[in-house]
Amino acid sequence: MASTASSPASLVPKLWKAFKELIFCQVLLAIVFLTTALVVDVIQGVLYVFVKPFNPALYRKINYYVTYALNSQIVFLVEWWSQTKVQLYIDPADKDNFFGKEHAILLLNHTYEIDWVVGWVICDRVRVLGNARVYLKKILAYVPILGFTWKFQENVFLERNWEKDKKSLGGQLNNLVNYPDPMWITLFPEGTRFTKKKHEASMDVARAKGLPELKHHLLPRTRGFTASIPHLREKVPALYDFLLVIDPKCKNEFSMYSILKGREVRSKFMIRRYPMSEVPEDEIEAADWLQKRYQEKDELFDTFLRTGEFLTKEQQALPEYQNFKYMELPRRPFSLINFCFWALVILVPLLWLLFSVFTSGNYLKMGISLVLIVAVNMGLMKLIDLTRISKGSSYGQQPQPESNGGAMTLPATNGVSNGKPKAQ
């Protein structure tokens, strides 16, 4: 009679899965990340004061690796901790000839809670993660601990006030295009996170302007895009149109919460490369160019939800898509190695200290330790809140016929889970 008892080997994956679900485990992950961020802040601050004023190129060379030490921990959580799959649908020639070898601006749909996270996975696999930049709300520069490193990384900060932003945008972008190594900067032209209410307001604007209505995206705000292009045109050879979709059959919510719990999510990107020369120099024509890309993006997204493929049979036969193939770029070991290093340096002495405290019989020390653990957990929840739709801004909920320049939010919750929009 065959034994119904599970073998020790079969129990290991189940125990590992259960371990990753523990709140204590997530607190340890947060401690490693936040402690690393503090160390990175100090290093970047020293470099910013003593190196950047005298040798900006050297500052950016060193800062690439310092930034990687922190950002790759997010990549570790995605591709090693949660085993999330990231598949690309691209022209292999673009990957071989351009990815990670040139400055580029990324146009990414703001359709999922943590779209930026899987974007970083691709950045790591083409070796530009240390130089991955993004448009952010200026207020995020004041987020404790992380705001400093975002500032030292030279991300682009905007206030959603065009009169102020137009004065600062050029200088910030000029810093980035002078990077000595390939740099990718992500722009979310929708300008805010997707919700049903924001989508309705956005489509009111589309109807007022006589533009085609979009099913799965907000109308792109073109002013930030058209104002950026003149500063990028000479030194940024291309734009990459990133279309992210999550497998509708995936049962796990695509959220930072799921990632921390070690739950796998399956994602796919369609990436189209456009030479910068294809973007018209005229501001109105450049705005129309962006609108057309989003109309195409919306059709591709809709096709995927209906058929499981980005392209119809007829589209696959078009010259621009004939070479497109599905592929997965191989994981690099460095995010795993980096996390293990920091975890070893931080957690071994910390766990030994906690063991000593809780076996000492000193109730004061034990109480203080518990308070600190709770504080770290609360800090973790606050960071997760940055990606939650319920904590998102009201920006974009009312029709705004005049674009304000597309100041970007930190990539975060936009109200779509597993391909299905959430109401708000």
φ, ψ of residue 322 in degrees (nearest 5): -60, -30
Instruction: Give the pLDDT of residue 232.
Output: 97
What is the Cα–Cα distance from 411 to 188, expressed in whole angstroms?
8
Question: Residue 29's closest CA among 250, 229, 261?
Answer: 261
Indicate whether 352 belongs to any domain.
no
Indicate whether 318 belongs to any domain.
yes
Indicate whether 331 belongs to any domain.
yes
Residues of the chain with pLDDT under 50: 1-2, 390, 401-424
What is the Cα–Cα distance from 319 to 310, expressed in whole angstroms?
16
The encoded tokens of residue 235 equal: 């030194």
Query: b/e string for 1-39 if b means 16 or more Cβ within 10 A?
Result: eeeeeeeeeeeeeeeeeeebeeeebbbbbbbbbbbbbeb
The residue segments making up the domain with residue 42 are 20-337+384-421
The encoded tokens of residue 400 equal: 């705004």
Indicate whether 2 belongs to any domain.
no
Instruction: Give the pLDDT of residue 67.
Output: 98
Indicate whether 123 belongs to any domain.
yes
Instruction: Give the pLDDT of residue 377.
Output: 78
Question: Residue 329's closest CA among 111, 127, 68, 103?
Answer: 127
pTM: 0.87
Instruction: Give the pLDDT of residue 247.
Output: 84
Question: Residue 117's closest CA among 152, 91, 82, 167?
Answer: 82
Taking phi over 0 as left and psi of -120 to 50 as alpha, with beta for the rest, 266 belongs to beta
25 in Cβ contact with 263 (< 8 Å): no
Instruction: Give the pLDDT of residue 277.
Output: 97
SS3 state at 368: helix
Instruction: Give the pLDDT of residue 54.
Output: 98
Indicate whether 346 belongs to any domain.
no
Indicate whether 376 belongs to any domain.
no
Indicate whether 14 belongs to any domain.
no
Instruction: Give the pLDDT of residue 417.
Output: 38
Instruction: Give the pLDDT of residue 411.
Output: 37
Please tell me the total count of domains within the chain: 1
Single-letter code of the amino acid located at 408? M
Question: Residue 265's closest CA among 109, 112, 86?
Answer: 86
Instruction: Give the pLDDT of residue 164.
Output: 87
